[in-house]
Amino acid sequence: MESGEAGLHRVDRCAAIARLLRQFQADYGIDAQELREVVLSTSLPIPSRDSERDAPSQNQEGDQGNLSLRIRCLGNFCVQVSGQTIDHWRSSRARSVLKYLITRGRRPVSKDVLMEALWPGWDPPHANDNLKAAVRTLREALGSACGRPGTDSWVLYRGGSYLLNPEVDLWVDVEQFESHWQAGRQLEKEARVDEAVSEFESAVKLYGGDYLEDDLYEDWTLLHREGLKDTYLAMLGRLADHSLRTADYHGCIAYCQKILLKDHCREDAFQRLICCHSRLGQRNRAITWYRLCEATVRSELGIEPSAPTVRLYQRLLGDEHV
């Protein structure tokens, strides 16, 4: 317990701060919640069991050392903290907070946006309490994983928003994937085809599965997931075309099969497969792929194969190479 004199000083200090806050509220018409944000953002020493810290203390910043986060979102979500994988999460919502922050890149995310995304329909006070608890658990999980349970500066709170500490060394597979895609497109424009292909190959290797595929039914993951899938399919198409042009028929077949795993009705992939098997002298396999294409588009889309696909088939029946 505190000594009598120390306790009196503490009470006096808190009372003085409370008077100042009431006066500030009267002068500027800010409600109680906004006042709390002002207090937290200036790190005033008001004792509170659920207060958020705006930034790490000087000692915490100095203790960061070589802290690093390596996060995979393509396929199964995986987090490595300074080389140590987090195998078990005490709270699924703590993990969801981290996923959402990663989804928004390195930009701050307002607490209201997080509350609406992760606790839709909840009343604000309860959603706010849940968010604070989830962030606290997230900080503990990241700190414990690297053997520094007291390190809570991974996730910062500034001006009503949360963000991953920009001082932490962060690697995210999605960022690398998109970086290779953009680099490859630029190289294509410069007619540096081989270098572009290398970038696309690097990106495709990173695609371990659809974006946050264990969160398929979360609305906030849907648009990003479909956008990344489209990018992945676009690169596979470019790589397949390059393989076909350079007579790497087995490589083209492999890329087209990956396309069809994600989109069963891609006729361009079926067309390439028909051509590759025909040029490899495998006429029967080429016909099999046409018939599979025909059955798939009829079943999935209720339509017949397109005219170019049918022409390839007719040429096969005429014993032509296509």
What is the H or E stretch that residue 289 is in? Answer: helix 283-301
Asked if 162 contacts 111 with a C-beta cutoff of 8 angstroms, the reply is yes
Pairing of β 109-110 and β 161-164: antiparallel
Contacts of 115 (CB under 8 A, 6+ apart): 122, 124, 127, 128, 130, 131
- Which residue would you say has higher pLDDT here, 186 or 15? 186
Q: Quick one: average pLDDT of 164-181?
A: 94
Asked if 238 contacts 285 with a C-beta cutoff of 8 angstroms, the reply is no
Distance, in Å, from the CA atom of 160 to the CA atom of 139, rounded to the nearest integer, reads 17
Give pLDDT tens digits for 78-119.
Answer: 999 988 999 889 899 999 999 999 988 889 999 999 999 999
Specify the pLDDT at position 61.
38
- Residue 175 in tokens: 């960022």
Distance, in Å, from the CA atom of 235 to the CA atom of 259, rounded to the nearest integer, reads 10
Asked if 85 contacts 206 with a C-beta cutoff of 8 angstroms, the reply is no
Specify the pLDDT at position 315.
96
- The b-or-e profile of 202-223 (16+ CB within 10 A means b, else e) is bbbebbeebbbeebeebebbee
pTM of the model: 0.78
Specify the pLDDT at position 190.
98
Length of the chain: 322
Distance, in Å, from the CA atom of 219 to the CA atom of 119, rounded to the nearest integer, reads 12
Asked if 176 contacts 206 with a C-beta cutoff of 8 angstroms, the reply is yes
Three-class DSSP category at 170:
strand
State the CATH architecture for 58-172: Orthogonal Bundle (1.10)
Distance, in Å, from the CA atom of 137 to the CA atom of 91, rounded to the nearest integer, reads 7
Three-class DSSP category at 233:
helix
Give the pLDDT band (50/70/90) at residue 22. Answer: low
Summary mean pLDDT of the chain: 84
Rounded to 5, what percent of the chain is helix, strand, coil?
A: 60, 10, 30
Specify the pLDDT at position 54.
43
Specify the pLDDT at position 106.
83
Give pLDDT tens digits for 152-161.
Answer: 678 999 999 9
Provide DSSP, 56-123.
--HHHHHH-TT-EEEEE-BSS-EEEETTEE----S-HHHHHHHHHHHHTTTS-EEHHHHHHHHSTT--
Distance, in Å, from the CA atom of 99 to the CA atom of 218, rounded to the nearest integer, reads 11
Positive or negative, the CA dihedral 215, 217, 222, 228 is positive
Pairing of β 169-172 and β 68-72: parallel
Three-class DSSP category at 265:
coil
The CATH homologous superfamily of the domain defined by 248-322:
Tetratricopeptide repeat domain (1.25.40.10)
